[in-house]
Amino acid sequence: MFITQCKQYGLQNMKYKFNLNNKSLAINGGKPIRKKPWMDNFTIGEEEKSAAIRAINSGYLSLFEGSHTPDNPFSFLGGPEVQSLEEEWSEYYQVKYSISMNSATSGLYAAIGALGIGFGDEVIVSPYTMSACAMAPMIYGAIPIFADVELETGSLDPDSIEEKITERTKAILVVHQFGLPADMDRIMEIAVKYNIRIIEDCAQAHLAKFNDKFVGTFGDIGVFSLNVNKTIQTGEGGVCITNNSDLAYRLQLIRNHGEAVVGPAGYENITNICGFNYRLTEVQAAMAREQLKKVEELTSNRLELVYELSRLLDEVEFLVPLKERKSAKSTYYVFPMRFLEEIAGITRDSFIKAVNAEGILFNQGYVKPLYYEPVYQKKQLFKNGYPFSASENQGCRMNYSKGICPNAEKLHFDEMIINEHIRPPQLKNDISDIIKSINKIIEY
């Protein structure tokens, strides 16, 4: 309203004049805009409950067995709920193979393993994402190399990726961060130019599209999460997708004790086939099948709230949502925005404290750029500094100095505000409390 008034009187350039000492603000004891608690992202309905009971009543909570079982349709590949989920997932995403996992973390680890990555290899990753993305290469002895993100979108910057490529680069792990697709045109161009494999982390990006094509279907392997914070959820869970039959089999081997399977199966390419137990249960798979049926509705409910908040924030010049690419359809895990202190004239910290006192939950930053964590600063994951200290890895460009990714640091330490209120079952009315709180602070 304040901005509208300014614009009306030709005062577009008038600076915001905050008075955070005003007694009416909740931060100073005034009445907050909202007292009602915010709802959790719980999307489980009667259908999922019946499906879980169906799976329990079948008498088989899991049918997986870590052995080569060509005559048994279930043991190595899991039970009917797991296999039906995988078929339905493949049909939805129009891919040849879906391999369920017990988390997206497991999916990322298995993806690195399936691609045969190991000691002496480098994998380019984003520093501004979930920790498992950089951990995945290290599990197999490879070295994560951090490329910077774009300030406006928060996604891996293709120019920075290209700068980091060496003859050791084997893969780029691209995250469609916050549900906003990365620049897959440029990234796939780079992949082809340098013969590099691509893993797409779609944990936060169910149904997001780039050039009208689902993210997760551009690279070699796409990985989705079904944890409780995601658009569709089964408590914990994940799904990998691929069109490559050998990669699909390798993912299945890594999921399920593959070292005991490759011998009887006569599979020769045994590198990295240290099989884990990454198996999804029948109950989770049954619930996931129901969630998949609802993914469009859940996404469109979420997008309605996203568009409403974007519309309302349009007037607030110092809060700029991360930019969605023209060719993208983003699906928004959270609502990410940049706080521009030079326009606001107050710090992000003081603004967030004032907004949150009004009953809103704005989070300062997202995750610290990953290379700030002790594992990188001390170059120590396993005993004796492995994998960093491995002889094969000497010569990898392991630079984890603070300052290597200035955009990720600027976003995290100065600008980023994350808001989760765009998740159903919140409604448009709830969203209006956000803008009422911001306007109250601006007006006073």
Ligand X SMILES: Cc1ncc(COP(=O)(O)O)c(C=O)c1O
Interface residues with ligand X (CB under 6 A) are 103-105, 129-130, 132-133, 175, 201, 203-204, 225, 227, 238
According to DSSP, the residues that pair with 338 across neighbouring strands are 320, 416
In the bound state with ligand X, the residue whose beta carbon lies nearer, of 150 and 201, is 201
In the bound state with ligand X, the residue whose beta carbon lies nearer, of 133 and 161, is 133
According to DSSP, the residues that pair with 98 across neighbouring strands are 241
State the nearest-atom distance from the C-beta of 265 to ligand X, in Å.
Answer: 28
State the nearest-atom distance from the C-beta of 214 to ligand X, in Å.
Answer: 16
Count CB neighbours of 356 within 10 A: 17
Q: Calculate the alpha carbon distances from 245 to 39, 51, 60, 254 in Å.
A: 42, 30, 28, 14
Contacts 24+ apart (CB under 8 A), 50-57: 51/286, 51/287, 51/289, 51/290, 52/283, 52/286, 52/287, 54/286, 55/81, 55/281, 55/282, 55/283, 55/285, 55/286, 56/283
State the nearest-atom distance from the C-beta of 340 to ligand X, in Å.
Answer: 25
In the bound state with ligand X, the residue whose beta carbon lies nearer, of 103 and 291, is 103
In the bound state with ligand X, the residue whose beta carbon lies nearer, of 20 and 367, is 367
In the bound state with ligand X, the residue whose beta carbon lies nearer, of 155 and 301, is 155
State the nearest-atom distance from the C-beta of 376 to ligand X, in Å.
Answer: 18
Distance CA 155, CA 149 (A): 5
Q: What is the DSSP string of 65-125?
A: -SS--TT-SSTTT--HHHHHHHHHHHHHHT-SEEEEES-HHHHHHHHHHHTT--TT-EEEE
State the nearest-atom distance from the C-beta of 134 to ligand X, in Å.
Answer: 10
State the nearest-atom distance from the C-beta of 59 to ligand X, in Å.
Answer: 28
State the nearest-atom distance from the C-beta of 333 to ligand X, in Å.
Answer: 7
Nearest to 130 by CA among 160, 166, 104, 96: 104
In the bound state with ligand X, the residue whose beta carbon lies nearer, of 233 and 437, is 233
In the bound state with ligand X, the residue whose beta carbon lies nearer, of 230 and 250, is 230
